[in-house]
Amino acid sequence: MRAADGHDLTHLTEFVTSRRGVEGFVEPRTAVSDVTLLLVAHDGEWTRRRVPSVKWAHDFANKHQVPSYDAAVVGIPQRMRDYNRRKKAGGL
CA 66 to CA 30: how far, in whole Å?
Answer: 24
Q: Which domain holds residue 44?
A: 6-88
Q: What is the pLDDT of residues 2-46, one digit of tens each?
A: 566 678 899 999 999 999 999 999 999 988 889 999 999 999 999
Q: pLDDT digits over 47-58, tens only?
A: 999 999 999 999
Answer yes or no: is 37 within a domain: yes
Q: Is residue 53 part of a domain?
A: yes
User: Based on the structure, what is the number of domains in the chain?
Assistant: 1
Q: How does pLDDT run across 61-87, given as a tens digit for each residue?
A: 999 999 999 999 999 999 999 999 999
> What gap in Å lies between CA 80 and CA 75, rounded to an integer?
11
Residue 32: its pLDDT value, please?
86
C-alpha–C-alpha distance, residues 7 and 71, integer Å: 23
Whether residue 1 is contained in a domain is answered as no
What local confidence, expressed as pLDDT, does residue 40 receive? 98
63 belongs to a structural domain = yes
